[in-house]
Amino acid sequence: MNNPSILYPVFALAALTGMVLLLIPFTRVRAVLRREIRAADFRLGESDAVPDAVRLPNRNYMNLLELPVLFYVVCLLFYVAAQATPAAVWLAWAYVGLRALHSAVHLTYNHVLHRLGLFAASNVVLVMLWILAATRLVR
């Protein structure tokens, strides 16, 4: 039987991605209203006139759409193949937690080494999820 527990971290990461997406127009509109930038600065994406604090949510959002695609795929693979073990669910939650911490660091004090450590740790967990999926499905 399929274990829906593997889908809960998927929904959590999707919710985090949605929250970060909402930050983008908020920071942009606020910056325009404060006359820090002009709306035209976004005509072709983000011009050089856009301050880093306004660019950050968009960059974090892009991060949440890159490697997490592999997370979504492996979780769906576990679910469809009815192979989601407690270890897989635990690893999936660990991945989401590490990505949430990565986003929190990125969007607040943005210390590069802290971000890198969290990013690397999340990637190790993602690789572990894929190894676990491969070993369970090959049997």
Q: Where are the domains of the chain?
A: 4-138
User: Where does 4-138 sit in CATH, by number?
Assistant: 1.20.120
Query: How far apart, in whole angstroms, are the C-alpha atoms of residue 79 and residue 57?
Result: 31
Please tell me the predicted confidence (pLDDT) of residue 1. 62
Query: How far apart, in whole angstroms, are the C-alpha atoms of residue 35 and residue 66?
Result: 32
Among residues of the chain, what percentage have pLDDT more than 70?
Answer: 99
Please tell me the predicted confidence (pLDDT) of residue 98. 98
Which DSSP string do the residues of 23-74 spell out, in sequence order? HHHHHHHHHHHTTSS-GGGGTTS--TTS-HHHHHHHHHHHHTTSTHHHHHHH
pLDDT tens across 47-58, in order?
788 888 999 999
